[in-house]
Amino acid sequence: MNTKVLLAVVGPTAIGKTALGIQLAKHFDTEIISADSRQFFKEMEIGTAVPSTEELNEVPHHFIQHKSIFEPYSVGDFEKEAILLLNDLYQKKDVAVMVGGSGLYVDAVISGLDEFPEVDPHIRETLNQELEKNGLELLQKELKQRDPEYYKTVDLENPHRLIRALEVCRATDKPYSSFLNQRKPERPFKSLYIGIDAPREVVYDRINTRVDFMMEAGLFEEVKKLYSHKKLNALQTVGYKELFEYIDGKCSLEFAISEIKKNTRRFAKRQLTWLRKNESILWVPYGGKPEKVLQMVTDRLKTNQYA
């Protein structure tokens, strides 16, 4: 194979991306790049569903628990490091596999990042103060007014994303979305998105089961250890925020667990909204026989239909 290829396994949370990624990596005798922006952090193991030791030992994985929540690490940092790794990997392999539920991070590696103007740090500081004083709702309303297009797609429960968009809006008096989808850099590889397609009830059932498993595996103990650092950006994550609320005495444990399930389902819905806009995705059936799925992928590669 003369063409270097990146297979990007995508889909809603808890749907089995790790297992499919391992199948593909074994079939093509290659390695896996994780593009899950929360699995980067070594302190967040249970709540981010990091692959098990057995799974990690099946094929080489990269970008799993390689950073601390105390280290700044952006999508731009990830893009640069992932491209460097791919350049090395393609010296010995024709195919690489990327697995992740963080659409922005997957797209950054495949298509590159948009360029934004520099923003006065004072604007971000002001927005953080407003968040601390007034909560998310006012920031959500401002974004809806300033940039209704981005408002429809952004994770409205993610304060980091809201603040990033609003600081650009305030600094330029232009919608954040107007800086998106600019001309991107050429990549020295072709890419194929592979999405796992499942009925919504299956996705939701798997989410509920996973949350129960996380609690049994010690998620609450993990969260307690991180409580004193709860304002860090990395910890503004479903599964952690809700249990912080319980520790603060704002709700019962039963309610916190139900909120984790509900917010994870909402997150999965947003993931699917993001993915459905990508017409180049090869959708494979959830629960499909591995050999059939592998055949679908190899057939697509033979036709040179890439992202």
Q: What is the pLDDT of residues 102-113, one digit of tens each?
A: 888 999 999 898
230 with 293, same domain: the answer is yes
Q: What is the pLDDT of residues 159-209, one digit of tens each?
A: 888 999 999 999 999 999 998 877 678 899 999 999 999 999 999 999 999
Could you give the residue ranges of the DSSP H alpha helices within the chain?
17-27, 53-58, 75-89, 103-111, 121-134, 136-146, 148-151, 159-172, 200-217, 219-226, 241-247, 253-276, 290-302
85 found inside a domain? yes
| CATH number of the domain within which 152 lies | 1.10.20.140
Contact 205, 14 (CB under 8 A): no
106 with 136, same domain: the answer is no
One-letter amino acid for residue 272 of the chain: L
| CATH number of the domain within which 211 lies | 3.40.50.300
132 with 244, same domain: the answer is no
Q: Is the pLDDT of residue 1 over 60?
A: no
Q: Is the pLDDT of residue 18 over 60?
A: yes
65 with 161, same domain: the answer is no
Q: Report how far residue 22's alpha carbon sits from residue 296's, in angstroms, rounded to the nearest whole number.
A: 16
DSSP helix/strand/coil, 33: strand
Tally of CB atoms within 10 A around 243: 25
User: Given pLDDT bands bounded at 50, 70 and 90, which one contains residue 28?
Assistant: very high
The whole domain housing 287 covers 5-114+182-302
Domain count, the chain: 2
pTM for this one? 0.84
53 with 194, same domain: the answer is yes
Q: What is the pLDDT of residues 270-305, one digit of tens each?
A: 888 888 888 999 999 999 899 999 999 999 998 877
307 found inside a domain? no
The owner of tokens 């107007």 is 178
DSSP class of residue 52 equals P
